[in-house]
Amino acid sequence: MFLCLDKFFCDFEDPNSCQWTQDKSDDFDWTRNQASTPSEGTGPLTDHTKGSGPLTNKKQGPGSIQHSGGLCIHVLRGAHTRPIEGQILVTYVRCGEDRLEFQLLPNGILTLTRYAMCVKPVGLVTDGVLVGVFSSCNVTDTWNWTAQGSLQYKKKMCLKPEYGVDPKSNEKLVLYSVCNERQNFFEFVPTSGWYLYIEASSPRRPNDIARLISPSTTKAKSCFLFFYHMFGRDVGKLQVYVKSRGKMDSVWSLSGDQGNEWHQAQVAVNNQTVSYQVSMHV
């Protein structure tokens, strides 16, 4: 979900700049997310505002690096925090997250952008050596693209999943002397923007409620504009309320699967004489 209410605009790109808050008295919280949702067959693939966006540079990124088999390069154990020295690279089912973002610098160094770490082999450069991330690299630890789309280290060895062309999630990435076969082909894909979502499937229970609340405003007339994505068999009801003087008035609602796309909605908030808030309920 993407929200816009006059000066309370929020696209959820920066979690510290958005003034919308979680209701502490509800059953669970909205979750900030990038790219697809964890449940298959539900949710969007990207946010509404940025989408998958254009790549700054198709050969240098920054962006996710996607294998021809569809999975993306990832750091083992997730890179939710700074990886340890030499943490190996693997394939991963999700793409587009900024913790998966790499960039090939003009000097040939391949970096994991969030932590300013660089990519190189974790041992002697022979067939099958694992590849990981490190705090520093030598000027000779360079990468380049071949004309066919292989990612090549020192213009000698090429990156590939350990077991071939159709890797599974968490398959290790290695260097190999054979290049320019399908097992070697990668490309940069864009990093996605952020949005808020709620998980409608397990462990959610019937009648669970999640509320997102705007800052207070005294504007007598306003238009509340937002974008929503309601897709999947377990989708319930999305509701908009105006909260004033302790009372909640419903001003908009929608139920059920609305298709696998983002939709825009607008709600007129008129004739307000005291401070009020807008609340999103699921």
CB 153 within 8 A of CB 139: no
Three-state DSSP class for residue 113: helix
Distance CA 253, CA 240 (A): 6
pLDDT at 43: 67
Each domain of the chain, given as residue ranges in start order, spans: 6-49+193-281, 63-190
Query: Would you state the structure tokens that stand for residue 204, as one six-digit string?
Result: 């959610």
Q: Quote the DSSP letter at residue 171.
A: P
Fold of 63-190: Trefoil (Acidic Fibroblast Growth Factor, subunit A) (2.80.10)
Q: Note the pLDDT tens digit of each residue in 121-137.
A: 999 999 999 999 999 99
Task: Assess whether pLDDT exceeds 60 at residue 7.
Answer: no
| DSSP-derived secondary structure for 158-179 | EEEETT-SSPPTTPBEEEES--
Q: Is the pLDDT of residue 29 over 80?
A: yes
Q: Which residue has the higher pLDDT, 48 or 5?
A: 48
Strand, coil or helix: what is 213? strand
Position 41 confidence tier, pLDDT thresholds 50, 70, 90: low
Q: How far apart are CA 48 and CA 125, in angstroms?
A: 43
Task: Kindly tell me if the per-residue pLDDT of 48 is higher than 70.
Answer: no
CATH entry, 6-49+193-281, from 2.60.120.200, 3.40.50.2300, 1.10.3720.10, 3.30.1120.10? 2.60.120.200
pLDDT above 70 for 281: yes
Strand partners, 131: 121
Question: Backbone phi, then psi, for 158, in 5-degree steps?
Answer: -115, 150
Q: Is the pLDDT of residue 179 over 80?
A: yes
Q: Is the model's pLDDT at 206 over the cut of 80?
A: no
Longest dimension (CA), the chain: 74
pLDDT of residue 53: 56
The span from the CA of 282 to the CA of 190, in Å, is 30
- Give 64's DSSP letter: E
Please give the distance of CA 83 from its chain centroid, rounded to a whole number: 19
Q: What is the pLDDT of residue 28?
A: 83
For residue 24, give both structure tokens.
């502490």
How does the average pLDDT of the chain come out, rounded? Answer: 84
For residues 63 and 99, is the Cβ–Cβ distance under 8 A?
A: no
Domain 63-190 in the same topology as domain 6-49+193-281: no
Identity of residue 94: R
Mean predicted confidence (pLDDT) in 80-104: 89
Can you read off the two tokens belonging to residue 177? 């002397």
Closest CA to 94 of 119, 64, 114, 130: 64
State if pTM tops 0.85: no
Q: How many residues does the chain have?
A: 282
Distance CA 65, CA 19 (A): 33
Between CA 141 and CA 77, with CA 85 as vertex, the angle to 5 degrees is 115
Q: Which of 6-15, 31-40, 128-137 has the highest mean pLDDT?
A: 128-137
Dist CA 67 CA 55 (whole Å): 16
**Which pLDDT tens digit goes with each residue over 60-91?**
888 899 999 999 999 998 888 999 999 999 99
Residue 119 has pLDDT above 80, yes or no: yes
Element (DSSP H or E) covering residue 256: none
